[in-house]
Structure 1
Amino acid sequence: MTKAPTDTNSIAQGTQDGGIFALPTSHESAQIILTAVPWEVTTSYGGGTSLGPKAIFNASPQVDLFDIEFGEPYVVGYHLDDEDPFFMKTNSELKILAQSVIQNWNETGSLSAESKKTLEKVNIGCAEMVSRVYQKTLSVLAENKIPGLIGGDHSTPLGAIKALSEKYDGRFGVLHIDAHADLRLAYQGFTHSHASIMRNVCLLKTAPKKLVQVGIRDFCKEEYDFIKQNEGRISTYFDNDNKTALFKNAGWDTVCHRIVDELPENVYVSFDIDGLSPEFCPNTGTPVPGGLSFEQATYLLSVLGRSGKKIVGFDLNEVAPGENGEWDGNVGARMLFKLCGWAAVTNGFGK
């Protein structure tokens, strides 16, 4: 199998030799349109997730196109659009500024006047990222295509979820797979922190009617209290509870059906790769022991895909390549293929 070039400066250059999964599909003929957002401005621990889209793209030709679960829905067309150069350029500029703000917080517990000005600049730039993703997703939806996003850190899909919230007037749910609850309010002062994505989703004018979280095992008291205050609207399947159920022989199939039953007819899947056990994402920015195996995650997607519900969009975030080998990109590409496949199937394509 031919591998995608690895010495390109951007995905846009790499696609000249073949698209995602080495498919030659054009934007016009594809039903699933992928947008790369190489962005990690507010990351507060490990870095490298802005290189995730390229790592996934480079590894994607290694994925065989036939899948035993859903056949060959790729024939409807998966296309990764060229990157908006704003993302990588602005990410490089703002990340340096954001790190100075984080350092000031860590050293003094507050922000100097200069850091407050820097924080404002970072927040403006992050808001522009959200706006660009929003406008891009609106254009994809206007073409009656299915939007998918490849981050980047987990702040990147807010604009996409906002666009879908307006299209469906909030009549859809979010399946959030992650190690973290991501419900902090403006973490470290950053309005669009990667640790605040689901809090920001809940604050949308026409917010999704339901948020179902899976794999959560690292969260603060503020987030736990917010979950409890929003029972009914937010259902969190903590990793500890899931594992306890498995240890008591409940069965993963039973757990997955409980999760999917909580979701409405239309579903957006937001997948942070650190929802998986760190063996599958060793270089992700904020790895946490525990989590889902690859097969547990794909089985959950399978239960969703066979439930009669429709995946209206999705994202895959926080994949970060290592210095040696492309394991993280390989795992990310295979999870992306599953997300694309089930999105296609639940929209009437494939099996």
Structure 2
Amino acid sequence: MEQTTFDPDGVGVGNGAYFGLPFEPEAARLVLISAPWDVTVSYGAGTAYGPDAVIEASTQLDFHDPLAPGAWRRGIATADVDYSLLEQSQRLRSDAERVIDHLEGGGSPDDDYVVRKLRRVNEGCAAMNANIESQAARWLDAGKIVGLVGGDHSTPYGLVRALGARHTSFGILHLDAHCDLRDAYEGFAFSHASIMYNILRDVPQVARIVQVGVRDFSEGEAALAAAQERIATFDDLSLAEAAFRGETWDAQCRRIVESLPGEVYVSFDIDALTFENCPHTGTPVSGGLTFNQAVWLLVTLVRSGRRIIGFDMVEVCPAGDDRIDAITGARVLWKLCGQTLLSDEH
């Protein structure tokens, strides 16, 4: 479909692109890449099918956004989805499940049976990271802003690496129920639960990770976050306590944003939100942000004059006829796109 024939007030177009938009990547300001991958998920699987589910749900969305009016007209394009990632994810997932079952049954991670499977999984995850980094590098070098749709939370590593190679310093606004600060969780070097640990280790250009809404983490993760100057934590309980004592959400958002540098990458795990927004996500946790609270945080970030240089939206898990996860994911993605494009106009 040509852009000249596209009717934003018409029926949603199922053209295989996010939001049914007609833009080609070469002509768009923002390019969305997809990562259909969920090899190392430790509880509920299915996020590998998130990108396709979000694409389908996104065509039912109306385009007027009062918080970023007309921003989409600068171009939001969908890069071709590399479905070889999905095929590899499906193959490696069986190995990962056997490793997890073995460990949960009291087995040793040093058993030969596990070591071989771990090696296969880790090599496959490293190849996925290289694939995503290569895709991101192509569009970043073409002058585009890049967003990623997962897949599990391990998938943005390559995009963050690509940004690190092109920016001297930036922060990460990390919305999540989990800290993701575990070192090779369950033996998986690139676990979904290790993404922020790996970024701290491998991407020194990330000056600050600001974690918001986290509420389920280990003692080791808490200790690392407390000791690490590059991490600022606004956990769910502390945010709730501040609200109980009378601090408005607007004031809390301004306090969160003040801890970030001028350029910011947003990592949005859907399980940062309350249950009703994402009942089937892989590792749901009670508590969390409302949809509007999360949106207001993004708006506050952009109104502060900070620029969003990239983002991800991960852990959407479709569930048959229950489409609420994909519907929420599509609308979170729309807000991320709009606020990113708005910040780019500063």
Aligned match of 1:260: 257
Instruction: Out of 81-90 and 262-271, give the one that drifted further.
Output: 81-90
Task: Provide closer, same or farther for how the CA distance between residues 138 and 294 of structure 1 changes in structure 2, counting only shifts above 3 A.
Answer: same
State whether residues 36 and 51 of structure 2, in contact with CA within 8 Å, keep that contact through their aligned partners in structure 1.
yes
What displacement does 1:272 show? 0.1
Instruction: Out of 136-145 and 182-191, give the one that drifted further.
Output: 136-145
Q: Counterpart of 1:216 in 2: which secondary structure?
A: coil
Which of 33, 43, 46 is the equivalent residue of 1:45? 43
Instruction: Out of 289-298 and 204-213, give the one that drifted further.
Output: 204-213
What displacement does 1:4 show? 5.2
Unaligned runs of 5+ in 1: 6-13
Task: Provide closer, same or farther for how the CA distance between residues 22 and 84 of structure 1 changes in structure 2, counting only shifts above 3 A.
Answer: same
Aligned match of 1:133: 132
In structure 2, what is the Cα distance between the partners aligned to 1:179 and 1:21? 27
How many residues are paired up?
336
Aligned match of 1:180: 178
Question: How is 1:267-306 mapped onto 2 (pairs within 5 angstroms)?
Answer: 267-306=264-303
Question: How is 1:188-203 mapped onto 2 (pairs within 5 angstroms)?
Answer: 188-203=186-201
Which of 80, 96, 99 is the equivalent residue of 1:98? 96
What displacement does 1:47 show? 1.2
In structure 1, what is the Cα distance between the partners aligned to 2:276 and 2:227? 34
What displacement does 1:288 show? 0.4
TM-score of the aligned structures, taking structure 2 as reference length: 0.95
TM-score of the aligned structures, taking structure 1 as reference length: 0.94
What displacement does 1:85 show? 2.3
State whether residues 4 and 58 of structure 1, in contact with CA within 8 Å, keep that contact through their aligned partners in structure 2.
no
In structure 2, what is the Cα distance between the partners aligned to 1:3 and 1:145? 25
What displacement does 1:114 show? 1.7
Q: Counterpart of 1:324 in 2: which secondary structure?
A: coil
Aligned match of 2:115: 116
Counterpart AA for 1:44: S
In structure 1, what is the Cα distance between the partners aligned to 2:233 and 2:122? 28
Aligned match of 1:9: none
Unaligned runs of 5+ in 2: 1-9
Counterpart AA for 1:327: I
Runs of 4+ with deviation above 4 angstroms: none
Partner deviation per Cα, 1:137-162 (whole Å, 9 max, x = no partner) = 11111011000000000000001001
Which of 199, 204, 207 is the equivalent residue of 1:206? 204
Q: Counterpart of 2:33 in 1: which secondary structure?
A: strand
Question: How is 1:1-351 mapped onto 2 (pairs within 5 angstroms)?
Answer: 2-3=11-12, 5=14, 14-15=15-16, 19-111=17-109, 112-169=111-168, 171-230=169-228, 232-348=229-345
In structure 2, what is the Cα distance between the partners aligned to 1:348 and 1:205? 27
Partner deviation per Cα, 1:249-308 (whole Å, 9 max, x = no partner) = 101011100110000000000000000001100010100000000000000000011110
Aligned match of 1:8: none
What displacement does 1:3 show? 4.3
What displacement does 1:61 show? 1.3
Instruction: Out of 201-210 and 171-180, give the one that drifted further.
Output: 201-210
In structure 2, what is the Cα distance between the partners aligned to 1:227 and 1:331? 29
State whether residues 176 and 213 of structure 2, in contact with CA within 8 Å, keep that contact through their aligned partners in structure 1.
yes
In structure 2, what is the Cα distance between the partners aligned to 1:212 and 1:48? 27
In structure 1, what is the Cα distance between the partners aligned to 2:190 and 2:74? 34
Task: Provide closer, same or farther for how the CA distance between residues 289 and 205 of structure 1 changes in structure 2, counting only shifts above 3 A.
Answer: closer
State whether residues 12 and 61 of structure 2, in contact with CA within 8 Å, keep that contact through their aligned partners in structure 1.
no
In structure 2, what is the Cα distance between the partners aligned to 1:91 and 1:55? 17
Q: Counterpart of 1:175 in 2: which secondary structure?
A: strand
